[in-house]
Structure formats: C-alpha cells, structure tokens
Amino acid sequence: MRVKYHYSVDDSEERRRILEERGVKYSVLSELKLSTPGLIYKPSSRRSLVFDIFSDNPFYKEIYEKVVLTDGHYLETFKIEYSRSELKSSEWLLMDSKCARVFTDDDNYTFEYSCLMPFGDNDFRYNHKNQIREYVLKKKINWKPNNNFYSDYDFSKIFCSEYAKRILAESIRGIGFKSVLSKKQEPYDWIYQLDFENTLPHEAVEYREGTVTQNCEICGRKQYIIPIKPENEIRFIRSSYLSGGTDAFVSEDVVGEGWGHHLIVVSQKVYKTVVEDMHERNLRFAPVKLV
C-alpha cells in the first residue's frame, strides 16, 4: 500500500527549487480546479504550485516539511493505491465505483427523504435519503468492453450492463439485480442495479479511534464520520459475520458526511471475476482487515 498525495501551495522560487532538486514535477496555476464537481479552490491571489508525490518517495518527509508545512493554507488530498498482490491476497475487500454516470430522472419517485433540518443561515436540508423504488434513467449509458459498471454520485449504488449481470449471476452468490426504468416506466433489458442481498449489522464493523457518531436530532438514526486520513481508509470487519456461503454484503450503517453511503464488502471471488476475468476498470477495491 502507498499513498498518492496531491498538494497545492503558494508559488515561490524556494519551493520550486526544492521540488526541482528532488525530481518532483509541478504545475503553476492561477486557480486550482478540484475533482469535486463544480468546486474551485482559490488559495490566494498568488499563483499556486500543484504537484503529486507518493508516500514511498525517499524525499517525501523533507518536501512535506519544507514545501507544504511552510504554507499556512496549503491544500492536501490523497488516494490509497494497493498492489495487485495485496488485493489478490485479501480474503474480503471493500468495493465501490470509480465513475458516476447513472442518475435518476425522478428523485421523488426513486428516493424517500426524511427529517427536514435547518441548514446554513436561511436554508433547510433533509438528513436522510433512502432508495425506495427503481431508478428512472436520466441519460443513456454506453458500455465498453472494460467499462461494464457505473454508479450514481453515491458510489455504493452500482449499475451494470447485461453482460456483467450474466457473468455475476452465473458465479457470484449474494448479488441480485434491480430493474432500471425508462421515462415511460418500462424496464430496460441492458442496464441493472446491483442489489446486495445480505446485510452486515452494526456489530460487524469495528470503528477505530477518532470516528465521530452523529445522531439525527429528529429520528435518532446514527451515522458514522471517519476522519479523512490515509490510515483510516482501511476498514476492520469481524470475520464471524462474513459467512453463510455468500460473496457480498452491504453494511447496515451509513458512513460519511451528508447523506453518506453504505459499505460494500465482497469476497476474493468477486474481485477475481470482475478484475481478472472481465478486466473491469470502473470498480475500486481495497483490502479489508479481519478481526
């Protein structure tokens, strides 16, 4: 496992010199567009140095101290990268989607919203959003040989092609398939939503130090906020709950900010089928630590 850090710091000759001497490539931008849709980060009126560096770079600590920490309002994002051997040796893995392209044309038909709360100075927002009916497809999806899975912006709501459905149905236990509807309320025969039939109860997930529990002020429902740090990307699951002859589970708990998402835990067999047999590129996997 290694961490790929992405940094933005104020531009200076000294910072450029350090990066160049250590062989770290950078870009100079007047503003930084993040991957989050619609979000633009402007650290200052000055130009920004933007660069990536891996945690296993021998100069990482030096660059972090001399280039990053010397900027009082730097921006840091990261992603975890696992080796193929780490993924293949893990008995169980987390799974979600890398790419959001499936959206419902009728939120009020597909979802149920509950617990309206004040949000900001003059606004309100529902605390909970639960799917109660099928997606009404907003825009046609074009599948490709190595792109047979997409999601909504809730990356735990995953959709697949008819080809992927056929392969999963033949060999994977615990994944069903929900219909996706046209705007005329007719089911399509070329796109399906993955339906995870087995639930991991709250007791199955071990939350480590630093996890914040939020209780809804109206209904009392709990949601788990895990601090955004590389070491917190690993999930700990109690092995006694991963049984029963199935290959896939979805967590009862909702994790994350806002409406959050559910954790999807799958067996090594799912990973092998999707990555090694189908050569799929749009699903992301991470090892699970069993306790």
Residues 105 and 195 in one domain: yes
Residues 76 and 98 in one domain: no
Give the model confidence (pLDDT) of 280-289 as tens digits: 999 999 999 9
Residues 73 and 103 in one domain: no
Range of the domain at 58: 2-81
Residues 129 and 209 in one domain: yes
Q: pLDDT band at 182, cuts 50/70/90?
A: very high
Residues 68 and 96 in one domain: no
Domain C-terminal end among 50, 81, 112 = 81
Whether the predicted pLDDT of 143 surpasses 90: yes
- Quick one: average pLDDT of 241-269? 93
- Nearest CA to 71 out of 16, 23, 134 is that of 16
CA 165 to chain centre: 22
What's the confidence (pLDDT) of residue 45? 54
Whether the predicted pLDDT of 221 surpasses 70: yes
Residues 49 and 118 in one domain: no
Q: Spell 31-47 as b/e; 16+ CB within 10 A means b.
A: ebeeeeeeeeeebeeee
Query: What size, in residues, is the chain?
Result: 291
Q: How many domains does the chain have?
A: 2
- What CATH number is associated with residue 76? 3.30.70
Domain C-terminal end among 30, 55, 81 = 81
Please tell me the distance from the alpha carbon of residue 135 to that of residue 291, in angstroms, as a whole number.
36
Q: pLDDT band at 44, cuts 50/70/90?
A: very low
Residues 13 and 119 in one domain: no
What's the confidence (pLDDT) of residue 258? 85
Residues 42 and 158 in one domain: no
Please tell me the distance from the alpha carbon of residue 95 to that of residue 110, in angstroms, as a whole number.
23
Residues 41 and 155 in one domain: no
Residues 56 and 134 in one domain: no
Residues 33 and 134 in one domain: no
Q: Spell 63-78 as b/e; 16+ CB within 10 A means b.
A: bbeebbeebeebbeeb
Residues 193 and 122 in one domain: yes
Query: Model pTM?
Result: 0.85
Lowest mean pLDDT among 20-29, 120-129, 227-236, 258-267: 227-236
Angle at 249 between CA 168 and CA 116, to 5 degrees: 115
Tell me the average pLDDT of the chain: 91
Whether the predicted pLDDT of 87 surpasses 60: yes
Domain C-terminal end among 48, 81, 114 = 81
